[in-house]
Amino acid sequence: MTALVATLGSGKGSWSYLIKLIKAFEWDRVVLVTNSFGAERFSVENKELSFVIVNDREGLFQLESEIREKLSGILTDETQVAVNFISGEGKLHMAVLSSLLKLGLGIRLVTVKDEKVEEV
Residues 6 or more apart whose Cβ sits within 8 Å of residue 33: 5, 6, 7, 8, 51, 52, 54, 67, 88, 92, 96
The C-alpha atoms of residue 111 and residue 113 are separated, in whole angstroms, by 7
| Total domains, the chain | 1
Residue 50's beta-bridge partner residues?
31
| Domain containing residue 99: CATH number | 3.40.50.10770
At residue 1, the pLDDT reads 57
Domain that holds residue 41: 3-119
The tens place of each residue's pLDDT in the chain, 120 residues long, gives 599 999 999 876 899 999 999 999 999 999 999 999 999 999 999 999 999 999 999 999 999 999 999 999 999 999 999 999 999 999 999 999 999 999 999 999 999 999 999 999
At residue 18, the pLDDT reads 97
